[in-house]
């Protein structure tokens, strides 16, 4: 009688341990959802890789690039939970030993790799957990996938250089895809990304590549991100759309000059000029503090790159700009009829700290009149 009670107690303890293990597998594992491949598909407790179309398939004879272990939803339809971290059961061909390393083997199976961490061969899946049975079957594994050849993840890092239009593949996950195009080219993102999709993109060629989102959104909008030469664009997916760092772009008055080692950011200086019809306004000194009237040039000399004027009258005005050497800065500037006019510049320069002489006169007379102008240096 005592013997039976002891056996019952041991059996109860074993079942309790198994039940606790199941609970940990549900609560402790990181198992993102992936779409099953409709032909090969996945098998429960077997290793999973991504197909060329970004779908989940059994790894078969492939032992690197392992995404995890198939769980709930395994098959050829719908989605499957793939355990990438935490406790989960994996199929072995023979009895493993607790606390041994687990490595990816043929047939989508887990293999006992021994007590010493492997340095070659298939990806390391994790460590063997508590072993309660014998022979071929499913055994607990503390999943923590890494490459046998290093301490990083199972995805192979590196660069993939392309010189023409290219469609990103699942084999590019974790890589930097470099577009080095001499003429127009497009980098196309997958039409069916998984939640494990993440790549870096860069355009370094003489012609900037363009991005094709393949019908997906980027950061919640359909606006396609635009490359800045030599700037890396990070792109990831939640399995439905794409997300990433917003590309760098130049605002009004800002110029970006990309280089292989840096991006130079510069401002385009402007000088706002208000003419009130008096004989004094229009002489702008570097020390002038009147509102809206300034010259604050940097460098020895600056070229007037643009000028626009508004004449608040029905008459046509002639606006003249000269530097302190009496050289005209614009060759034609005739705003009128309450309209904004773009003036033609001559390419003349202004010395830092020197003044610009401005006048606005009604055509056909010598009458000074109101005008509002902006110079760009």
pLDDT digits (tens, 9 = 90+) for 108-158: 999 999 998 888 889 999 999 889 889 999 999 999 888 886 544 444 457
Distances (CA, A) of 295 to 76, 177, 282, 288: 71, 46, 12, 8
pLDDT in tens, 353-377: 666 777 778 887 777 777 777 777 6
Q: Which pTM value belongs to this model?
A: 0.41
Of all residues in the chain, the percent with pLDDT exceeding 70 is: 75
Apex 194 CA angle, 189 and 196, nearest 5: 105
Q: Is 242 helix (H, G, I), strand (E, B) or coil?
A: strand
pLDDT for 207: 94
Please answer whether residues 283 and 293 qualify as being in contact, where contact means their C-beta atoms are separated by less than 8 angstroms.
no
What does the pLDDT read at residue 293? 37
- Per-residue pLDDT at 230 exceeds 50: yes
Minimum mean pLDDT range among 194-203, 210-219, 298-307: 298-307
DSSP-based three-state secondary structure for 10: helix
- Model confidence band, residue 336 (pLDDT cutoffs 50, 70, 90): confident
Q: Mean pLDDT lowest for which of 45-59, 155-169, 265-279?
A: 265-279
Output the average pLDDT for the chain: 77
CB 20 within 8 A of CB 224: no
Band of residue 270 on the pLDDT scale cut at 50, 70, 90: low
pLDDT of residue 217 exceeding 90, the answer is yes
Query: Does residue 258 surpass a pLDDT of 80?
Result: no
Element (H, E) at 17: helix 2-28
Give Cα separations from 244 to 161, 171, 220 (angstroms). 21, 19, 10
């Amino acid at each position: 009688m005592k013997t039976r009670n002891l056996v019952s107690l041991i059996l109860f303890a074993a079942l309790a341990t198994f039940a606790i293990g199941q609970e940990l597998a549900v609560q402790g594992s990181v198992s993102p959802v992936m779409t099953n491949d409709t032909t090969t598909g996945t098998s429960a407790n077997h290793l999973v890789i991504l197909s060329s179309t970004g779908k989940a398939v059994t790894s078969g004879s492939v032992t690197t690039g392992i995404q995890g272990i198939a769980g709930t939803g395994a098959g050829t339809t719908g989605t499957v939970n793939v355990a990438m971290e935490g406790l989960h059961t994996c199929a072995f061909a023979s009895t493993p030993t607790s606390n041994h390393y687990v490595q990816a083997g043929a047939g989508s199976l887990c293999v006992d790799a021994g007590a010493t961490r492997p340095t070659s061969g298939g990806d390391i899946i994790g460590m063997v957990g508590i072993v309660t049975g014998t022979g071929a079957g499913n055994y607990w594994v503390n999943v923590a996938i890494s490459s046998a050849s290093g301490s990083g993840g199972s995805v192979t890092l590196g660069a993939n250089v392309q010189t023409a239009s290219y469609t990103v593949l699942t084999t590019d996950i974790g890589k930097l895809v470099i577009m080095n195009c001499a003429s127009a080219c497009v980098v196309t993102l997958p039409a069916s990304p998984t939640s494990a999709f993440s790549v870096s993109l860069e355009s370094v060629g003489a012609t900037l590549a363009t991005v094709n989102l393949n019908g997906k959104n980027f950061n919640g909008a359909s606006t396609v991100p635009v490359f800045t030469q030599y700037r890396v664009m990070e792109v990831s997916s939640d399995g439905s759309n794409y997300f990433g760092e917003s590309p760098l772009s130049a605002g009004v008055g800002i110029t970006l000059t990309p280089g292989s080692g840096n991006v130079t950011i510069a401002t385009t200086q402007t000088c706002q000029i208000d003419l009130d019809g008096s004989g004094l306004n229009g002489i702008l000194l570097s020390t002038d503090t009147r509102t809206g009237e300034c010259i604050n040039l940097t460098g020895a000399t600056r070229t007037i790159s643009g000028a626009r004027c508004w004449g608040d009258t029905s008459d046509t005005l002639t606006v003249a700009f000269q530097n302190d050497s009496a050289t005209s800065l614009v060759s034609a500037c005739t705003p009128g009829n309450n309209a904004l006019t773009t003036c033609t510049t001559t390419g003349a320069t202004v010395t830092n700290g020197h003044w610009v002489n401005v006048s606005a006169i009604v055509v056909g007379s010598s009458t000074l009149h109101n005008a509002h102008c902006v110079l760009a240096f």
